Each structure stands twice: as structure tokens, then as C-alpha cells.
Amino acid sequence: MRLNLKIWRQPDGKTKGKIVDYKLDGVDGDMSFLEMLDVLNEELINKGEEPVAFDHDCREGICGSCSLQINGEPHGPDRLVTTCQLHMRMFNDGDTITIEPFRATAFPVIKDLVVDRSAFDRIQQAGGYISVNTSGNTQDANNIPVRKEDADDSFYAATCIGCGACVAACKNASAMLFTSAKVSQFALLPQGQIEATERVMNMVRQMDLEGFGNCTNTGACEIECPKGISLENIARMNREYLKSSTKG
């Protein structure tokens, strides 16, 4: 395949960025999207030009590092896959592909396609943990009964990889899907009850402090989420928030 690539180039967070055109030949349908960018970067390096900076780590859909806005969609046109798992067979010979960083005030650009998603880390730090007694008399987790439905819902919420596609997809740049997944994975389990009241308040407060917008029930986040995190988690977080607020 021969592709026309329109790629966002920005040397750093302080300098204005712009879209730059590149032509790339010999792209195979079995390449992943990131492998296609590797080929482009090899060409750029051989020509003595600056390679395109983009985030990646596991390349297996696990770590949540890869984060590209491809033709206006976070993680591109396929469903339930991250950019590293997106294959070039989703595109056709002669296609023009626009590649931009995830856009949100709370995700400032570091360079080219790399954005700073440490706002998510700070939301996690505000409450995404449980207290466990590790003094030697810890109760085995398997001795604590948990309803199968709750265990399943908690597990599904825990599959959120913190990629930020939900924020990039949302017209309000809301982080409610991410935050609600992190609240839900503990709210559904007995082990998560110790900090339940403060957790939801602290995580939502941090989410607001970071400058993410609010949820207006559009649902774009759920559609673009590579892990299929459900909007039900947002409803659960709102219930948890209400419960906590009435406790004072």
C-alpha cells in the first residue's frame, strides 16, 4: 500500500504545532499501526530528519501507553483495540490518514504525538487503592464471599488500561469513564469498603482539579474505549458520590 500521512509535528509543549505531509510506500496489511510508523521513522532517520515521537510500550494492548487520534478517532477505526493492535489492513491503498495526539487541556502535548497523561496517575493516587493489613494475620481474600455478578463487574472495570481514549473521544474532555472504572473496581468488593466514602469524593475532586470536563451522557467514550468499559460505571460512580455526600 501507498499512504498519504498527515502527522501532527510539535517540537515541544511551548512551540506551536502543525500537520506535516508524508508519503509512505510498501505498507503491508499485516503491519500494526505502530510498525507502520516505525517504517516511516526509519526513512526519516535515514534522510537525517527528526523521527516522529509517539508513545508505546507493551504493543500488546495491555499498558495503555499508545494513544493516537487516527482520522479523528482515538485508537483509529477498529473497535475494542488499542493503536498498537490496529492493523493496516483496516486501510486501503492510496488512503490519506491524519494522525494527531489525544486532544485535551488536561493532556498537554510533550512532543509530536506524545501527551502528558500524568493527570490520570494523580486521580489514581487520590483514592485508587485499598488498605490491607499485612501484619501476618491477613485474611485470605478467597475466604470473603463476593457475589459472582459483583466479581465479574469489578473485574471488567479493572480491565481499564488508563489509555485516555475516553477523554479524547469526549466533546467535554471528560475523564468520568476512567475515574468511574477505578472507583467501581473497589466499590463492588468488600475489600474496597474501608475507604469507600473518601475514595469517590477524593478521586472526583482530583478529576475536577485536573481540568477534565463533565459527562453529558453522549456515550462516545464507551464506543471508543479499547476495553469496552461500560457507561454503567459512570452511573455507579454517581450513586457512590451521592451516598458519600449524604454521609457528610
- Pick 39 or 130: Cβ nearer ligand FES: 39
Map the footprint of ligand SF4 across residues 115-174, applying CB under 6 A: 160-166
| Binding mask of the shown chain, residues 186 to 225, with x at each position contacting ligand SF4 by CB under 6 A | ---------------------------------------x
**Residue 228 corresponds to which cell in the numbers above?**
469496552
Closest to 170 measured CA to CA, from 88, 229, 95: 229
Minimum CB distance to ligand FES smaller for 19 or for 80: 80
Q: Which is nearer to ligand FES, 10 or 82 (CB)?
A: 82
Least separation in angstroms between residue 233's CB and ligand SF4 is: 8
Under the criterion CB under 6 A, does residue 65 sit at the interface with ligand FES? yes
Residue 65 binding partner per list ligand FES, ligand SF4, none, with a CB distance cut-off of 5 to 8 Å that depends on partner kind: ligand FES
68 binds ligand SF4 (CB under 6 A): no
Q: Which is nearer to ligand SF4, 31 or 119 (CB)?
A: 119
Any bridge partners for residue 20, and if so which? Answer: 7
Question: Containing H/E element for 173?
Answer: none
Smallest distance from ligand FES to CB 39, Å: 17
DSSP category for residue 160: -
Touching ligand FES, residues 83-102 (CB under 6 A): 83-84
66 binds ligand SF4 (CB under 6 A): no
- Supply 70's cell numbers: 487516527
With helix as H, strand as E and coil as C, how does 36-94 read?
HHHHHHHHHHHCCCCCCCCCCCCCCCCCCCCCEEECCEECCCCCCCCHHHCEHHHCCCC
Binding status of residue 114 toward ligand FES by CB under 6 A: no
- Strand bridging mode 96-101 / 109-111: unpaired
Shortest spacing between CB 131 and ligand SF4, in angstroms: 24
Which residue from 141, 154, 216, 219 is spatially nearest to 182, judged by alpha carbons?
Answer: 154
Q: Which residues fall within 8 angstroms of residue 154, CB to CB, at 6 or more apart? A: 146, 184, 185, 186, 188, 189
Q: Would you say 5 or 106 has its CB closer to ligand SF4? A: 106
- Residue owning grid cell 504493543: 59
For every residue of 189-241, DSSP letters joined together read SGGGSTTHHHHHHHHHHHHHHTT-B---S--HHHHH-TT---THHHHHHHHHH
Q: Which is nearer to ligand FES, 64 or 192 (CB)?
A: 64
Site for ligand SF4, rule CB under 6 A:
160-166, 177-178, 181, 225-227, 229
Site for ligand FES, rule CB under 6 A:
56-59, 61-66, 82-84
